[in-house]
Amino acid sequence: MSGIGTGYDLYPTTFSPDGRIFQVEYAHKAVENSSTAIGLCCKDGVVFGVEKIILSKMLVEGTNRRVFSVGEHIGIATAGLTADGKRIVQNARQEAKNYENFTSDIIPIHVLTERLSIYVQVFTLYNYIRPFGCSLMIGSYDEEKGPSLYCIEPDSVALGFYGCAIGKGKQEAKTEISKLKLSEMTCKDAVKEIAKILIKTVHDETKEKEMELEMSWVCKETKGKHKLVPKKLIEEAVEWVKGQENEED
């Protein structure tokens, strides 16, 4: 089987003649195979939503987590190989704890993002370790600085976003997100909007099995702490989405 990169795609240590590192690009493909995750940076906080495909009725609800807390004040949502995502989150937790022990301050989100970015980049340098096959969205809320959302891709590029989507349905999701007025939206509204995008736009009921919504937020209401969105709110959001569908029909 020969693809575009044949001959130059065995190791991340080889550039192709047109200046690409194929192993890193293949890592992006791994992310695109996974289900979608969305992050929105609203007026008063950051909300994450992940479309989790239920692989089997035997699986316990809430297992197979895709959203994690780092310190108390930062949340990370992953897409791609979950195990890779967990490894990076583990590293993030160490960084945050070390920073706090050393300086007695909690780690600012842009410092954590920078450090994770450098960490991810290291794995694109050698032929005996592979790049991470996952993208991460990192979000936090600060009383003075407001909400912040960053996204790190497998090539280690870290960018700040107002709204971001990663995974299979990221293109459609990004289109929907660009229609939203994020600077005026509260986190409670964002929960509904994310549910709408994940259920209606991204999730294809004919092709895929049922989905479970995993949502978390870090906002004024949670006093800057990263927590899972209460189940009740998610259920209300799902009801609202169903209501919208009926209206449109």
Partner 1 sequence: MELIESPLQDLKKEVSTGTTIIAVQYQDGVIIGADSRTSSGSYAVNRVTDKLTPVHDYIYCLRSGSAADTQIIASYVSYYLNMFSIEEGCLPTVKKAAHMFREFCYQNKQYLLASIIVAGWDEENGGCVYNVPLGGSIIKQPFAIGGSGSSYLYGYCDIHFKENMTEEEAISFVSKGITEAIARDGSSGGICRIATINKDGVKRRTIYGNELQKFWEK
Closest CA to 134 of 182, 169, 185, 82: 82
By CB under 8 A, tell whether 2 contacts partner 1: no
By CB under 8 A, tell whether 56 contacts partner 1: no
Q: For residues 55 and 111, which CB has a smaller minimum distance to partner 1 in the complex?
A: 111
Sign of the torsion angle spanned by Cα atoms 142, 231, 183, 38: positive
By CB under 8 A, tell whether 114 contacts partner 1: yes
Q: For residues 5 and 108, which CB has a smaller minimum distance to partner 1 in the complex?
A: 108
Nearest distance in Å: CB 115, partner 1: 9
Count interface residues toward partner 1 (CB under 8 A): 9
Nearest distance in Å: CB 218, partner 1: 19
Q: CB of 97 within 8 A of CB of 116?
A: no
| Contact region with partner 1 (CB under 8 A), list: 7-15, 39-47, 98-106, 209-217 | 98-106
**Tally of CB atoms within 10 A around 1:** 3
By CB under 8 A, tell whether 101 contacts partner 1: yes
**What b/e readout covers 17-38, taking b as 16+ CB neighbours within 10 angstroms?**
eeeebbbbbbbeebbbebbbbb
**Tally of CB atoms within 10 A around 173:** 25
N residues, the chain: 249
Q: In whole angstroms, what is the distance from residue 30 CA to residue 61 CA?
A: 25
By CB under 8 A, tell whether 146 contacts partner 1: no
**Among 19, 102, 128, 207, which residue interacts with partner 1 (rule: CB under 8 A)?**
102
- Tell me the pairing of strands 37-41 and 163-166: antiparallel
**Among 2, 56, 63, 103, which residue interacts with partner 1 (rule: CB under 8 A)?**
103
**Among 18, 105, 184, 249, which residue interacts with partner 1 (rule: CB under 8 A)?**
105
| Residues engaged in binding partner 1 (CB under 8 A) | 101-105, 108, 110-111, 114
